[in-house]
């Protein structure tokens, strides 16, 4: 089965959705997703989204991002992300996204490795709030079609250029989708791990396909382990206990209920300390206590975490909960430039499957949603520019032809 579209987007998380919203409305766009449309990690993001609060915050925000990333970050990308952050927040608010407020102003929280509060949030379901609102906006677009339970199996290549993708739908029918431009927004690699906060169907398909075609990859060893997920012996995805909890005052204890680490250090540092403590104690988890957070804050800021833990038999307002590190985020991926272009012409990559260098070797908390949105919008704008260039070139050629015809007739 063959079909032709102007643009095909692989993935329906925030990066894919935001790209669709910023692409030309006169282009026929097909979005595919491996599972149902809501089973993307974007829906799972709890903590929030970073923003540059004012110009005085720039140096601090830049340094926090670089330090968390062990200074392996691409400085140009970090600068672009930070400078674009307020524009992105304005876009989101325009699409109906609601963020917590303190009076008439936005409220800001702090997470690990941040030197000051600069994270906007919606309770502890910020990802769900943003992604669901963007999805609702995309569904209003007449030029966008979403195909669920459709898996990319390869990219189509002609003369070294990407001309679309091959896919397989839930009926196991093979489809060749030809397109002017392809955007890979297919998420991370958590499905390859036994313990991960990711959905299990996110297995890095785009990475394998890129390797097959010699598309440039970068930093495949940059994998982030989140220090605090709810410990469970049940199989399946691990429930994340947001870093915002520690940002609001939660502390980590060993088996004797003694504090053993500064909870606001970068994620990789906290993870190492937890693993060291578990080995020392001979346990398979440590304890997280919210005793220093008042009950009202827990219920209002972390209602989802509170409810989930209650369902698992823990009342976080009264007792410690067992936590353990688990795979969380992929900082490496398909190499892209500052406009999210890959090393193959007409192929773009955005979100967690791409590597634009923003995060370095370890992502700073709450930079993921922002990075995905900033660079998916840049991809859309670059594609928009290509179409404008093509149209201008066609007009010039038509003008030259008309002039030649005129002179021919006049002659």
Q: What is the CATH number of the domain that holds 267?
A: 3.90.700.10
Contact, 137 vs 92, CB < 8 A?
no
Both 197 and 275 in a single domain?
no
In a domain, 111, yes or no: yes
Would 346 be classed as within a structural domain?
Answer: yes
Contact 333, 44 (CB under 8 A): no
Spans of the chain, pLDDT less than 70 = 401-411
Mark whether 116 and 263 lie in a shared domain.
no
Q: Which of 327, 346, 368 represents a domain boundary (last residue)?
A: 327
Q: Per the structure, how many domains does the chain have?
A: 2
pLDDT recorded at residue 36: 96
pTM of the model: 0.90
Range(s) of the domain holding residue 290:
225-327
**Is residue 402 a part of any domain in this protein?**
no
Tell whether 303 and 339 lie within a shared domain. no
Query: Within a domain: residue 21?
Result: yes
- The answer on 129 and 188 residing in a single domain is yes
- Domain identity same for 12 and 119: yes
| DSSP-based three-state secondary structure for 295 | helix
Q: Are residues 313 and 242 both part of a single domain?
A: yes
216, 232: one domain: no
For residue 53, indicate whether it is catalytic: no
How far, in Å, CA of 55 to CA of 41, rounded?
31
Give the CA distances from residue 324 to residues 245, 253, 407, in Å, rounded to whole numbers and listed in that order: 15, 12, 79
Which of these is catalytic: 5, 74, 267, 363? 267
Residues 107 and 162 in one domain: yes
* DSSP code string of 67-84: HHTTT-S-HHHHHHHHHH
User: Any residues with CB less than 8 A from the CB of 91 and at least 6 apart, and which?
Assistant: 373, 377
Shared-domain flag, residues 232 and 149: no
Q: Could you tell me if residue 214 is left (phi over 0), alpha (psi between -120 and 50 degrees) or otherwise beta?
A: left
With respect to residue 396, please indicate whether it lies within any of the assigned structural domains.
no
Q: Which residues of 171-201 are buried (b: 16+ CB within 10 A; e: fewer)?
A: eeeebebbbbbbbbbbbbbbbbbebbbbbeb
CATH code of the domain in which 181 resides = 3.50.50.60
Same domain, 289 and 155: no
Residues 70 and 217 reside in one and the same domain? yes
Whether 407 is covered by a domain: the verdict is no
**Is residue 409 in some structural domain?**
no
Q: What is the pLDDT of residue 172?
A: 78
Do 59 and 146 belong to one domain?
yes
Cα(260)–Cα(258) distance, integer angstroms: 6
Residue 411 in domain: no
Residue 24: how many other CB atoms lie within 10 Å? 14
- The pLDDT of residue 402 is 66
């Amino acid at each position: 089965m063959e079909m032709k579209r102007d643009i095909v987007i692989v993935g329906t998380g925030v990066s894919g959705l935001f790209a669709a919203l910023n692409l030309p409305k006169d282009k026929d766009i097909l979005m595919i997703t491996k599972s149902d449309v809501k089973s993307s990690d974007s829906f799972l993001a709890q903590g929030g989204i970073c923003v540059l609060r004012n110009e005085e915050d720039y140096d601090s925000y830049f340094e926090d991002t670089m330090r968390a990333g062990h200074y392996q970050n691409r400085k140009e990308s970090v600068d672009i992300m930070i400078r674009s952050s307020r524009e992105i927040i304005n876009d989101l608010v325009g699409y109906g996204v609601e963020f917590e407020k303190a009076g008439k102003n936005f409220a800001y929280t702090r997470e690990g490795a941040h030197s000051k509060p600069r994270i906007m949030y919606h309770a502890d379901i910020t990802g769900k709030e943003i992604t669901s609102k963007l999805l609702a906006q995309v569904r209003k677009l007449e030029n966008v079609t979403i195909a669920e339970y459709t898996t990319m199996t390869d990219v189509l290549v002609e003369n070294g250029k990407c001309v679309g993708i091959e896919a397989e739908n839930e009926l196991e029918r093979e489809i060749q989708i030809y397109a002017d431009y392809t955007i890979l927004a297919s998420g991370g690699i958590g499905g390859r791990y036994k313990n991960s906060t990711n959905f299990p169907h996110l297995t890095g398909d785009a990475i394998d396909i890129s390797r097959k075609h010699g598309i440039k990859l970068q930093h495949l060893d940059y994998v982030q382990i989140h220090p605090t997920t709810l410990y469970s012996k049940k199989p399946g995805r691990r429930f994340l206990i947001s870093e915002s909890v520690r940002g609001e005052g939660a502390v980590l204890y060993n088996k004797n209920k003694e504090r053993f680490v500064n909870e606001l250090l970068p994620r990789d540092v906290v993870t190492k300390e937890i693993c060291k403590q578990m080995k020392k104690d001979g346990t398979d988890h440590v304890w997280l206590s919210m005793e220093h957070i008042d009950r009202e804050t827990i219920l209002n800021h972390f209602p989802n975490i509170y409810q989930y833990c209650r369902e698992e038999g823990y009342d976080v307002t009264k007792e410690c909960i067992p936590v353990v590190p688990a795979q969380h985020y992929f900082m490496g991926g398909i190499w892209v430039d500052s406009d999210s272009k890959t090393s193959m012409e007409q192929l773009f990559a955005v979100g967690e499957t791409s590597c634009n260098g923003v995060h370095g070797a370890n992502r700073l908390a709450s930079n993921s949603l922002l990075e995905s949105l900033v660079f998916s919008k840049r991809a859309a704008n670059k594609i928009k520019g290509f179409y404008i260039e093509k149209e201008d070139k066609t007009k010039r050629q038509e003008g030259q032809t008309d002039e030649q015809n005129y002179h021919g007739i006049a002659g």
